[in-house]
Amino acid sequence: MDVRRRPPRPPVATNTNAAFSGNHHHLHHRKKSPTPKASDALPLPLYLTNAIFFTLFFSVAYFLLHRWRDKIRSHTPLHVVTLSELGAIVSLIASFIYLLGFFGIGFVQSFIARASIHDSWDLDDDAVPVDAAYIPLPKIMDPPPPQLISSEEDEDIVKSVVNGTVPSYALESQLENCHRAALIRREAVQRLTGRSLVGLPLEGFDYESILGQCCEMPVGYVQIPVGIAGPLLMNGCEYSVPMATTEGCLVASTNRGCKAIYASGGATGILLRDGMTRAPVVRFPTAKRAADLKFFLENPLNFDTLSVFFNKSSRFARLQGIQCSIAGRNLYMRFSCSTGDAMGMNMVSKGVQNVLDYLQTDFPDMDVIGISGNFCSDKKPAAVNWIEGRGKSVVCEAIISEEVVRKVLKTTVPALVELNMLKNLAGSAVAGALGGFNAHAANIVSAVFIATGQDPAQNIESSHCITMMEAVNDGKDLHVSVTMPAIEVGTVGGGTQLASQSACLNLLGVKGASKESPGSNARLLATIVAGSVLAGELSLMSAIAAGQLVKSHMKYNRSSRDISNLAS
C-alpha cells in the first residue's frame, strides 16, 4: 500500500472577518509571480541561442568531414590534428551537448511548472481567500492508539511513509526486518486514517514466512477460532477435522453428522478424477485457422509431442488432455494435468506457456490474447467445472441406520428424503442453481480451507455439490451421498506452509508432499473435505426436518452478554 498525502496548507492568520473583507479586493487583484522557466538561465533569448548552436554544429561537422577526406586522400594520419581542427572538435562537442540538452528543456519546464502548481500556496499564498484554501484534516474519531514506535529512527521512517517519501511497499526490502516493517506500516496507517488498529494483533506472527508468497504490506493478522469436528470415520480411518469459522453451530452441527456416520459404520469416499486446468485464449485472422489448430490439438497423433513440451514445466506435471472450444476466430484450449500434492495453478500455467511457445512455430499467425481465457474456470461458478470437473472430483456416501436417524439426528428417514427432494433438488432448480444442489456445502468447505491454508476464493467451484438422499433396506435406512466434481486443494505451497495451517494439515496426516506416492496427500485431503461436507449436510438437513434449526441457532449462535452494557 503506497499511501501518500500532501501536507496541508498552513492557515493564514486573520483577526476578524471584517479585516479579511477589507483586504478582499487587494487579494484578488494582486499580480501573480511568473512561473520560472529553464530557459531563463540562458544569456540570450532561446530562439537566438538555438540558431547559433545549430549553425555551429553543422558548420563544424562539415569542416571536419572535409578535412578528414583530404587527409585520407593524402594518406595523412587522422590523429594528427592542427590547432583549427582541435578547436573545431571542441566546438562540435560543445554544440552537441547543448543540442542534447535543448531537447530536454521542454520536459524540464513542464516538470517545474507541475511542481509549481502543486506548491502554489507557497508561491502565491495570498491569492486565495483563507477560508476557501484551507481544508482541515478530518478529526481523529478513535482514541489515540498506544505508541508502539520507540526509537527516533523508526519515528522518522513513519513520518517518511506518511508524507510519501518512502513507499509503504518498500519497507521490507529497505529495513530487512519484516516485523519492524509491519510495525512501522501499521503506525503509518493509523496516522493517515485517524483510525486505531487496537485489537488487530501484531506480535506472535512470523512475518518472514509470508514474504513474497502469501501477503503483501502486512499490518497484523486476523484471529479465527479453529474447532474440531469428529472423529470422521471414512474408508476405515478416523480423522479429526479442523474447521476455522466464526459461525456458531457450524462445528457442532458437523460434529453431530460425524457422530451419526461413525455410529452407522463409517462413510466411503472415492476419488473420481484428479486434474487441474488452465485455458488460454488465442486469436487467428480467420475462423478456419482457429479450427485448424483445434483439429491439430485434438489429434491423438500429436498428443505425445505436446506432452513433452508441457511436462517440462515440472517433474509432477503430466498433461492429461486438451479440450477446445471455438468462438468465431478465437480458440479456447482447456489443458488438464496432474499436479502432485500442489493445488497446481502455477504449475499448469507454466506448462501451457511451453506449449504455446511450441505452437507459435507452426502457427505464426496465432495471437495469444491471454494465458487464461476463463474456460478454465477459476474462482467463479461455471458449468464446465460442474460437468467436466476441476481439481479433485470426489463422491462420498454412507448408509445411516434408522435407529441413528431417530436417536442422533432426531428425525425420520421419510422426512429427510422428502426434504432433500424439495429443497436441495427441486428448490435449487427453481432458483436456477449452478452446482448448488445442497444445503450448505460451502460452509464446511470454507472452514476446512481456511484452517488448512487453501485458497478461500476457490471455495466457489470447490463447493459445487449435489446431495442425494434415498430410503434403502425396505425404507428403514437412509443412503446419503455428496458428489463434488471440483475440489481444489493442495498440501504444499501457498498458505499450507504457515505454522498454524501446517499444524492443521498435520492433524489430518496430510502435511507436505507424499514421498512414497506423490499427490496422495492432496487426494486424501479432498476426500476428507467431501466426507466433512457429507456430515454437515446430514446434520443440517436433519435439523431443518425436525424443526430445530432456529432453536439451535438461538441457543448456540447468539451471545448471552448484555450488548448495551458492553457499548457503554
Question: Does residue 497 share a domain with residue 448?
Answer: yes
Judge if 201 and 245 occupy the same domain. Answer: no
Whether 409 and 419 have beta carbons less than 8 Å apart is answered as: no
Average the pLDDT over 208-219 and give the result: 94
Q: Identify the band that residue 94 occupies on the pLDDT scale cut at 50, 70 and 90.
A: confident
Domain count, the chain: 4
CATH of the domain at 322: 3.30.70.420
300 and 398 belong to one structural domain = no
Residues 102-118, mean pLDDT to the nearest whole number? 50
Q: Rounded mean pLDDT of 422-430?
A: 97
For the chain, give the mean pLDDT: 85
Supply the pLDDT for residue 109.
53
Q: Which of 77-86, 101-110, 553-562 has the highest mean pLDDT?
A: 77-86
Q: How far is CA 312 from CA 11, 303, 492, 530, in A?
A: 65, 14, 20, 32
Count other Cβ atoms within 10 Å, centred on residue 159: 14
User: Would you place residue 142 in the very low, low, confident or very high pLDDT band (cuts 50, 70, 90)?
Assistant: low
CA-based diameter of the chain, in Å?
118
The reply to whether 137 falls in a domain is: no
- How many C-beta neighbours within 10 Å does residue 235 have? 15
Cβ partners under 8 Å of residue 71, min gap 6: 77, 78, 80
Average pLDDT over residues 380-407: 97
Residue 136: pLDDT over 90: no
Under DSSP, the state recorded for 558 is: S
- pLDDT(21) > 60: no
- Mean pLDDT, residues 360-385 taken together: 96
The CATH number covering residue 436 comes to 3.90.770.10
Confidence band, pLDDT 50/70/90 cuts, at residue 81: confident
Q: Nearest to residue 184, comparing CAs of 217, 212, 154?
A: 154
Task: Identify the pLDDT of residue 74.
Answer: 79
Please list the active-site residues. Answer: 247, 379, 455, 553
Closest-CA residue to 61 (of 82, 86, 91, 99): 91
pLDDT value, residue 165 = 94
Cell of 541: 438437513
Q: What angle do CA 33, 38, 40 make, to 5 degrees?
A: 65
What is the model's pLDDT at position 19?
Answer: 39
- Domain limits at 171? 152-210
319 and 358 together in one domain: yes
Separation of alpha carbons 232 and 533, rounded Å: 11
Q: How far apart are CA 493 and CA 513, in angstroms?
A: 10
pLDDT computed for residue 561 by the predictor? 58
* 270 and 363 together in one domain: no
Cα 271–chain centre separation:
29
Statement to judge: residues 341 and 430 lie in one domain:
no
Candidates 359, 241, 357, 235; CA nearest to 290 is 359
> Is 522 found in the same domain as 429?
yes
Are 199 and 310 found together in one domain?
no
Residue pLDDT, tens place only, 258-305:
999 999 999 999 999 999 999 999 999 999 999 999 999 999 999 999
- For β-strands 226-234 and 268-278, DSSP reports them as unpaired
**What pLDDT score was predicted for residue 318?**
95
* 491: number of Cβ within 10 Å: 27
Please name which of 533, 423, 538 lies closest in space to residue 487, comparing C-alpha atoms: 533
Q: What is the 3-state secondary structure (H, E, C) of 3-19?
A: CCCCCCCCCCCCCCHHH
* Residues 546-560, mean pLDDT to the nearest whole number: 70
Would you list the DSSP string of 149-186? --SHHHHHHHHHHHTTSS-GGGHHHHHS-HHHHHHHHH
Residue 201 lies in a domain: yes
pLDDT tens figures, 147-189:
677 789 999 999 999 999 999 999 999 999 999 999 999 999 9
- Average pLDDT in the 185-207 region? 95
Q: What is the per-residue pLDDT for 557?
A: 65
**High-pLDDT (> 70) share of the chain, %:** 80
What pLDDT, on the 0 to 100 scale, is given for residue 23? Answer: 41
Whether the predicted pLDDT of 474 surpasses 50? yes
540 shares a domain with 452: yes
Let me know if residue 81 belongs to a domain.
yes
Evaluate if residue 195 carries a pLDDT over 80: yes
551-554-555 Cα angle (round to 5): 85
DSSP characters over 312-378: TT-SS-EEEEEEEEEETTEEEEEEEEE-TTB--HHHHHHHHHHHHHHHHHH-TT-EEEES--SSS--
Instruction: Name residue, grid cell 504490506.
Output: 217
Q: What value does the mean pLDDT take over residues 473-483?
A: 97
Written as nine digits, the cell of 168 is 509503504
39: DSSP letter: G
Cα–Cα distances in angstroms (integers) from residue 504 to residues 71, 81, 442, 520, in the given order? 85, 82, 19, 17
Per-residue pLDDT tens digits for 488-522: 999 999 999 999 999 999 999 999 999 999 999 99
SS3 state of residue 507? helix
218 found inside a domain = no
Quote the pLDDT of residue 15: 43
DSSP code of 492? B
Q: Phi and psi at residue 331, in whole multiples of 5°? A: -120, 130
Closest Cα partner for 334 from 276, 277, 388?
Answer: 277
Q: Is residue 25 part of a domain?
A: no
Q: Of 243, 209, 234, 205, which Cα lies nearest the Cα of 222?
A: 205
Give the C-alpha separation, 522 to 392, whole Å: 9
Distance CA 539, CA 258 (A): 9
User: What pLDDT sits at residue 550?
Assistant: 73
Q: What is the dihedral of CA 152, 158, 159, 160, to 10 degrees?
A: 110
Euclidean distance between CA atoms 166 and 152, whole angstroms: 16
Whether residue 165 sits in one domain with residue 60: no
Question: How many CB atoms within 10 Å of residue 216?
Answer: 12
Lookup result for grid cell 456445502: 441
List phi, psi (to 5°) of 12: -90, 135
- Mean pLDDT score, 73-97: 81
Residue 486 lies in a domain: yes
Q: Is residue 414 part of a domain?
A: yes
C-alpha cell at 374: 476463463
Q: Which of 124-133, 140-149, 177-186, 214-223 has the lowest mean pLDDT?
A: 124-133
More confident site: 218 or 141: 218
Is residue 345 located within the same domain as residue 491? no
Pairing of strands 268-278, 330-338: antiparallel
Lowest average pLDDT, out of 116-120, 145-149, 434-438, goes to: 116-120
Query: Is 446 inside a domain boundary?
Result: yes
Query: Mean pLDDT, to the nearest integer, of 534-557?
Result: 85
Query: Quick one: average pLDDT of 462-475?
Result: 97
Asked whether residue 59 falls in the same domain as residue 168, the answer is no
| pLDDT on residue 103 | 58
Query: Is the pLDDT assigned to residue 408 strictly greater than 60?
Result: yes
